[in-house]
Amino acid sequence: MVKRLMGQPVTELDKHGIRWHLDFPDAKKPGWFLPGGRVVQGWVVLPEKLAAMRSAVRIVAEWQTAFELCHPLDIARPDVIESIFSLPGEGHPQRVCGFRFTVPPKLGYFRLWLAIDDERWLLEEVNLDIRDAEDVQQLKVLEGKQGWLFLDNDTNGSVDQFMGRMRLTQAGVDGWNNYLTELADTAGKVPWALLIAPSKESVMGASYHPLPEGASGPMHQVLALSASAGAVYPVSELKALGDSAFIPTDTHWTHKGALAATLALLAGLGIDENACHALFEQDHYISKTIVGDLGNKLTPKQVSSVEMLVSFGYAQYKTYDNGLPNFGRLLVVEYPEALVPSTCLVFGSSSSYSMFNYLCRVFQRVVFVHSAGSIDTALITAVAPAYLVAQTNARFVVQVPTVTHCLDEVIREKCAQLDDKAFEGVREKRIIASDEYLQYVGLLRWEKTASELLK
């Protein structure tokens, strides 16, 4: 069911003489779906006095407080011109008056706004019966040039971010400003940095992405904040690696990409750069064929050749791992010969894992929490790290991290979601440490939570 506001007087739009219509979604028509999701299509025609502002018109779709989609009028609609003005559509200055984009197919509600410069009007509140989307299949992979694959149809809108059609709302900007400010306050005198892993699109997109890159997006909005001075965003370092920065059939960077990001992070933390470079200059890499998280989604599966670090592996130095998949994971890596004889606490994401090969050779103890940059202050107090790192991915910036993360709650929620097969997988991955050791490193409380639920 689509709730229409068009039949009601829209005072501001009437006053300005702005006409518009939403073709899809429409309660009287079947849902229209494309590979990108449910189609939102319509048109906007301005009065003659405002016609010169057509390029400034944006249609905004919003269903979350932190971000919104923002689309221009870029579809030719000569049929609309002929109907409204009784003039030939071809050649008319407002012939390109249409919009068409997609929203997630199972989105049940969104608001549609008309924005012109700094003014905006609510066009419609759309409520949808999502039963028509039950059988919609979305391909999660976008095939680029020369075998490069990119993420598509993810919950963070990676394609819309890359094309500059997704942006943070004021609430999202304020949320990031508050997070960065609170992160600095929480760190206090402890050296800290926020590492934001650039998206594959932002590094490799100009060469291989099938769609055009936009001028700005959420990442640019975050970096524009004065509070982001402590952020490390190594996009130039990764671009300097060329094709060696990312895995063609995966969303993540290569080992060499992870090294470039690690060195940028260490510089941000004030660690001696020359000493760090010396640690890794003898590293050896060999080319291996891998599938990757994107190549695995295709039929047949697509593989790529990537240079992998073979002269060092952090896994043998793990002293504790609660084994949980993704959020809620807690692990410790200890390397006695590390450059700095102290602890680095990392609140990171999946991009952090390949960095452990390098981080653990710098810091004698690396304690990692999978939280995508969200901070549990109780864990900081318990671990008492000499260095603090928050790490998230650029495509995650539409989900503002917090400093009120509660690892206990996340562990409980994750365990409640595991089926029997997943439980077995967790038990196989777990590396159990003694209570005395966990008490010493400050993690006993959280292991007790996990062990009670994984019996």
Choice among 41-55, 100-114, 323-337, 430-444 with the minimum mean pLDDT: 41-55
At residue 163, the 3 state secondary structure works out as: coil
Which pLDDT does position 50 carry in this prediction? 85
DSSP state, 213?
Answer: P
Question: pLDDT band for position 138 (50/70/90)?
Answer: confident
Q: Residue 237 pLDDT > 50, yes or no?
A: yes
Choice among 90-99, 171-180, 192-201, 233-242 with the minimum mean pLDDT: 90-99
What pLDDT digit, counting tens, does each position of 340-387 carry? 999 999 999 999 999 999 999 999 999 999 999 999 999 999 999 999
Count of CB atoms within 10 A of residue 183's CB? 24
Which pLDDT does position 12 carry in this prediction? 64
Question: What tokens were used for 342?
Answer: 């102290």
Cα dist from 450 to 17, 189, 416, 442, 447, whole Å: 62, 31, 11, 15, 5
As assigned by CATH, the class of the 11-134 domain is mainly beta
Domain spans of the chain, in order of start: 11-134, 158-453
Question: Is residue 171 within 8 Å of 120, Cβ to Cβ?
Answer: no
> Residue 115 forms beta bridges with which residues?
58, 120
Alpha-carbon distance of 289 to 387, in angstroms, equals: 36
Q: In which element (H, E) is residue 2 found?
A: none
Q: Residue 15 pLDDT > 90, yes or no?
A: no
Q: In which element (H, E) is residue 40 found?
A: strand 37-45
Question: Is residue 338 within 8 Å of 357, Cβ to Cβ?
Answer: no
Q: Residue 445 pLDDT > 70, yes or no?
A: yes
**Percentage of residues in the chain having pLDDT higher than 90:** 84
Question: What tokens were used for 305?
Answer: 């050749």
What pLDDT digit, counting tens, does each position of 215-228 carry? 889 999 999 999 99
Backbone angles phi, psi at 71, to 5 degrees: -120, 140
**Percentage of residues in the chain having pLDDT higher than 70:** 97
Count of CB atoms within 10 A of residue 5's CB? 14
Question: pLDDT band for position 1 (50/70/90)?
Answer: very low
Q: Residue 439 pLDDT > 90, yes or no?
A: yes
Question: Is residue 428 within 8 Å of 404, Cβ to Cβ?
Answer: no
Question: Is residue 375 within 8 Å of 183, Cβ to Cβ?
Answer: yes
Q: Residue 11 pLDDT > 80, yes or no?
A: no
Three-state DSSP string of 88-105 = CCCCCCCCEEEEEEEECC
Q: Residue 78 pLDDT > 50, yes or no?
A: yes
What pLDDT digit, counting tens, does each position of 254-279 carry? 999 999 999 999 999 999 999 999 99
> Residue 75 forms beta bridges with which residues?
98
Residues 83-99: what's their mean pLDDT?
91
Which pLDDT does position 35 carry in this prediction? 85
DSSP state, 214?
Answer: P
Question: Is residue 389 within 8 Å of 269, Cβ to Cβ?
Answer: yes
Question: pLDDT band for position 9 (50/70/90)?
Answer: very low
Cα dist from 229 to 168, 184, 234, 351, 432, whole Å: 19, 10, 13, 21, 39
At residue 61, the 3 state secondary structure works out as: strand
Write the single-letter amino acid at 316. Q
Residues 407-429: what's their mean pLDDT?
93
Residues in Cβ contact with 255 at an 8 Å cutoff, skipping those fewer than 6 apart? 285, 307, 308, 309, 354, 357
What integer best gives the mean pLDDT of the chain?
Answer: 93
Count of CB atoms within 10 A of residue 377's CB? 13
Alpha-carbon distance of 293 to 255, in angstroms, equals: 16
Which pLDDT does position 43 carry in this prediction? 96
Does residue 191 or residue 140 have the better pLDDT?
191
Q: In which element (H, E) is residue 43 found?
A: strand 37-45
Which pLDDT does position 339 carry in this prediction? 97
